Structure 1
Amino acid sequence: MKHTILLFLLLTPWLHAQTTTDGFALPQPGKVFAFPRDHGSHPDFRTEWWYVTGHLDSKDGHRFGFQVTFFRQARREDGKTLQLHLAHAALLDAKTGRFLHQERLNRSGWDAASSESTLAVQNGNWSLTLDETTQHLHIAATINNEALLQLELEAVKPLAIFGKDGVSRKGASETAASHYLTWPRLKTTGTVKLGAVEHAVTGEAWMDHEFSSSQLEAGQVGWDWAALQLKDGREIMVYRMRRKDGSSDPASTLAVVERDGKLRHLARDAFTWEVLGTWKSPRTGAEYPIRVRLAFEGESLELKPLAPDQEQDGGITQLPYWEGACDVIDSHGQVTGRSFLELAGYAGDLTGHLSPKAK
């Protein structure tokens, strides 16, 4: 009997960390991922996203930045679980600075779905699918009936699993964590139709797949995130979790994917994030730090946006954010890579949207 009580006391904190108060799963250390199943949907978690960003070039001299993102958000209503599907798509024509973007929101069903067995997500006529035979990804999306993306993506680096023991921590709280899977470099080909003109394009993309039941904890208001693809074959992922006083949460981290695909993480005190310039949105009034310098291990890299206005103004969610294509500039002023920068929580505190309590 004593052994039973002792075992219960030892396991109680572990058991409490399994779910949120309303029964959604929390990421657990030691998870063994199985593919293609874990490329698919995880409806026992509250929030999930499949996030593709990239840079494209056409033979006629056009350069594009693009984003196609599928979100799944679960809610409890009257004892039932409601699955909502949100999708964002954006296209920047770097030559003109024109930025197109669109949001969609549908309930799970005919208009939106996400497979639990493989990567196959759909919202209206937007889709992101994995061909298990060729291991190619396919993207199709229209933006405001003004642009059409038809892209095929092929991984040229292995899948990276960010975090420690399969869990990417976003704060000290047991709830502030995710399972974070990434294809850090995807060879991309296809077409971009802008108006009546169709451009054959080639380029590279980055894909994140995260699932969690909370991304923030008390005291955090948002985050800065960047994904860099360098010409020397390395990739860098960095996120800075921002606290209400403007400081960086100790859970902030930088990860380097080496040329051979090996992954290593740096702690918050091993890198610096310096703001070099800002842009104020005429629509939301938010001031975004769109030019930054990232420094680590004696290396200094500047993220310079291809255009200042790359704000998604949150028409459906009322949660505006800045998501932009950037060049990476080294300490000698040379372009040494390309990147995407995301700035969330500058148009309003995100606390309460992504920070439920643990059970």
Structure 2
Amino acid sequence: MSVRAFLLALLLLLPLQAFAQGFAGIGTEADGFARPERGTAFDFPADHGAHPDFRIEWWYVTANMIGPDGTPYGLQWTLFRSALAPGEAPGWSSPQVWFAHAAVTTPDTHLATERFARGGIGQAGVEPAPFRAWIDEWEMAGPDFDTMRLRAAGPDFAYDVSLNAQGPLVFHGDRGYSVKSAQGQASYYYSQPFFALDGTLTLPEGDVAVTGQAWLDREWSSQPLSEDQTGWDWFSLSFDDGDKLMGFRLRQRDGSFFTSGTWIAADGTTTAMGDGEIEAEPLETARVEGRDVPVRWRLRVPARDVEVEVAAINEQAWMGLAISYWEGPVTVRGSHDGIGYLEMTGYE
């Protein structure tokens, strides 16, 4: 969701002790792997599929939903590909490792689970046309990238929803080349933020029919961050007037920040926002699984006359998985009202 989950995707590439010191491992060299290049044209539908010459990649869905009684819900579905070496090979010789996260958030509970798979044996993968991304029985699939069915299940929840695009793909940064640091690390990054959603959540108390909107992020790279970046705060916001905002703040060891974002008009036209054009300030923290995590923010985009407060629907939306982070639905109030999603990493 974005500078989406680089740390998570590197879990199976780097020694775990590298992360004990924060996020330093994300900035390590990626010798032998392909690197993003500015000006590269996207090739669809092929680019909806996997890029095994790059070290890390994901298909990342978040959704804001409403039940029949007006209760707000959040949903996450993420498939990660992580390469031990560039390229592909058949069977167990494949250097590609896959893992996935699924979650449902309510105002009172946060339910999350994960899956792991090895490439080359059919347990997980992505096919661009017809589109299908899967790991075990979890699946996002349809005739194309605009019309899909999304399914996942855990020990205490499940969901089965349809996604139907109501607008175009959008490309972040310079036509999809998204810079992540002052040193120039970058990824390829595009989104489909215009999905209409309907379907069913299965919760411990029973099934809930839901409708809402979903946002899908696609990103791949090999060395996305610099070694002095320790975590990030990523926002995807949908305003009531139809405009949208993707923005992230990468935290530096010296206390400074690198920021980037995209203003997405209701018709899908975009304006890139470089370092310093988005201001994100934590206003309130909550104690979450033994750490202090910002759960209310002031977000400003002066060039767009945006000044809003972004607040968690459930402050305890902690993804307590193999690598832990915070991710959940938010409300937006101020110059622009709306809803969205927030992801935060590196809060230990």
Aligning the two structures, in what range does the TM-score lie when normalised by the shorter sequence? 0.7 to 0.9
Q: Which residue pairs with 1:103 in the alignment?
A: 114
Q: CA deviation at 1:50?
A: 0.6
Q: Which residue pairs with 1:40 in the alignment?
A: 49
Q: Which residue pairs with 2:339 in the alignment?
A: 338
Q: Which residue pairs with 1:149 in the alignment?
A: 159
Letter in 2 for 1:98: T
Q: Which residue pairs with 2:182 in the alignment?
A: 172
Q: CA deviation at 1:192?
A: 0.9
Letter in 1 for 2:148: L
- Answer yes or no: is the 8 Å Cα contact 2:161–2:200 preserved in 1: yes
Report the TM-score, using the length of structure 1 for normalisation: 0.82
- Which structure would you say has the larger Rg? 1
- Answer yes or no: is the 8 Å Cα contact 1:35–1:118 preserved in 2: no
After superposition, the CA RMSD in angstroms is 2.0
The one of 308, 313, 317 aligned to 1:306: 313
Q: 1:232 to 1:61 in 2, by over 3 A?
A: closer
What is the DSSP-based 3-state SS (H/G/I as helix, E as strand, rest coil) of the residue aligned with 1:268? coil
The one of 322, 328, 331 aligned to 1:324: 328
The one of 247, 250, 263 aligned to 1:241: 250
- Answer yes or no: is the 8 Å Cα contact 2:152–2:159 preserved in 1: yes
The one of 177, 188, 199 aligned to 2:197: 188
- Answer yes or no: is the 8 Å Cα contact 1:38–1:118 preserved in 2: no
Measured against aligned partners, the alpha-carbon deviations of 1:280-319 in whole angstroms (never above 9, x if no partner) come to 223xx332112111011232111111011001123x2xx2
Which structure 2 segments of 5+ residues have no match?
1-28
Measured against aligned partners, the alpha-carbon deviations of 1:233-283 in whole angstroms (never above 9, x if no partner) come to 00100011110122102xx2121001221100122222311111112223x
What is the DSSP-based 3-state SS (H/G/I as helix, E as strand, rest coil) of the residue aligned with 2:276? helix
* Separation of aligned partners in 1, 2:227 and 2:52: 25
Q: Which residue pairs with 1:137 in the alignment?
A: 148
* Separation of aligned partners in 1, 2:131 and 2:179: 24
Letter in 1 for 2:167: K
Letter in 2 for 1:138: R
* Separation of aligned partners in 1, 2:255 and 2:163: 37
What is the DSSP-based 3-state SS (H/G/I as helix, E as strand, rest coil) of the residue aligned with 1:214? coil
What is the DSSP-based 3-state SS (H/G/I as helix, E as strand, rest coil) of the residue aligned with 2:41? coil
* Separation of aligned partners in 2, 1:52 and 1:166: 18
Mapping of residues 1-359 of structure 1, within 5 Å: 21-76=30-85, 82-94=95-107, 97-108=108-119, 109-115=121-127, 119-132=131-144, 135-144=146-155, 146-174=156-184, 176-195=185-204, 197-249=206-258, 252-282=259-289, 285-297=290-302, 298-314=305-321, 316=322, 319-331=323-335, 336-347=337-348
Q: 1:135 to 1:184 in 2, by over 3 A?
A: closer
* Separation of aligned partners in 2, 1:116 and 1:258: 27
What is the DSSP-based 3-state SS (H/G/I as helix, E as strand, rest coil) of the residue aligned with 1:201? strand
* Separation of aligned partners in 2, 1:220 and 1:101: 27
* Separation of aligned partners in 2, 1:257 and 1:322: 25
* Separation of aligned partners in 1, 2:331 and 2:45: 33
What is the DSSP-based 3-state SS (H/G/I as helix, E as strand, rest coil) of the residue aligned with 1:38? helix
What is the DSSP-based 3-state SS (H/G/I as helix, E as strand, rest coil) of the residue aligned with 1:222? strand
Letter in 2 for 1:214: Q
Measured against aligned partners, the alpha-carbon deviations of 1:62-87 in whole angstroms (never above 9, x if no partner) come to 3211111110000139x975111110
Corresponding pairs, count: 312
Q: CA deviation at 1:116?
A: 5.4
Letter in 2 for 1:291: R
* Separation of aligned partners in 2, 1:169 and 1:118: 31
Q: Which residue pairs with 2:6 in the alignment?
A: none
Deviating 4+ runs (over 6 angstroms): none
Letter in 2 for 1:339: G
Q: Equivalent pairs: percent with the same residue?
A: 34
Q: CA deviation at 1:43?
A: 1.0
Q: 1:197 to 1:306 in 2, by over 3 A?
A: same
Measured against aligned partners, the alpha-carbon deviations of 1:3-59 in whole angstroms (never above 9, x if no partner) come to xxxxxxxxxxxxxxxxx6531111112222122211111111110011100111121
* Separation of aligned partners in 2, 1:117 and 1:177: 27
* Separation of aligned partners in 2, 1:137 and 1:320: 28
Which structure 1 segments of 5+ residues have no match?
1-19, 348-359
My pick for the range that moved more, 111-120 or 154-163, is: 111-120
* Separation of aligned partners in 1, 2:31 and 2:94: 10
What is the DSSP-based 3-state SS (H/G/I as helix, E as strand, rest coil) of the residue aligned with 1:341? strand
Q: Which residue pairs with 1:352 in the alignment?
A: none
* Separation of aligned partners in 2, 1:87 and 1:71: 6
